[in-house]
Amino acid sequence: MIEKPFPYTESDEKVVERIIDADVAMINHVVLPVGERLPEHFSDSNVFLTIVRGTLSMQLGDQEPHRYTKSVVQVPFHTKMNITNGADEPVEFFIVKAPHPRVYKEETQ
C-alpha cells in the first residue's frame, strides 16, 4: 500500500489532536462544542484553517471577528489569533501548518 491513512476522531465533544507531525506539514484536527475556544496565540508558520462543519468565529489581530463556514482560511505568520465557536452547533476544522513550525523557524533565522 503506497498511501498512508491518518484517522481522526468523530465527535461533538471537544477534540484537539495532532494528525500529522512531519517537517513538510503539521496537521491538527479540532472540534469545538458551542461556547468553546482555543487559547489566544500567534500563528507560528503558514497557517490554513479548513472548516468542514459548523461556523468558526475568528478574530485576527485587532480586526473585528469574522465567521467562516465550509472554507479554507489562510492566516499570515505571526498573527494574533482568537478562535471560538459562538454558533449553536459544534464547529470542526483542520489546521494545516506548512512547513512545520520547527522548520519554519529554522528557515526564517
**Has residue 6 got a pLDDT over 60?**
yes
DSSP 20: E
3-state secondary structure of 62: coil
Cell of 33: 462544542
The pLDDT of residue 108 is: 63
Q: What architecture is domain 15-108?
A: Sandwich (2.60)
Nearest Cα neighbor of 61 from 43, 86, 44, 37 is: 43
**Has residue 82 got a pLDDT over 60?**
yes
Cis peptide before 99 (omega within 30 of 0): yes
- The Cα 1–Cα 77 span in angstroms is 36
Give how far the C-alpha of residue 45 lies from the chain's centroid of Cα atoms, to the nearest Å.
12
pLDDT band at residue 101 under the 50/70/90 scheme: confident
Task: List, for residues 21-79, the tens digit of each pLDDT value.
Answer: 999 999 999 999 999 999 999 999 999 999 999 999 999 999 999 999 999 999 999 99
Its pTM stands at 0.92
Domain residue extents for the chain = 15-108
- The Cα 52–Cα 68 span in angstroms is 10
Sequence-distant (6+) residues with CB within 8 A of 106 are none
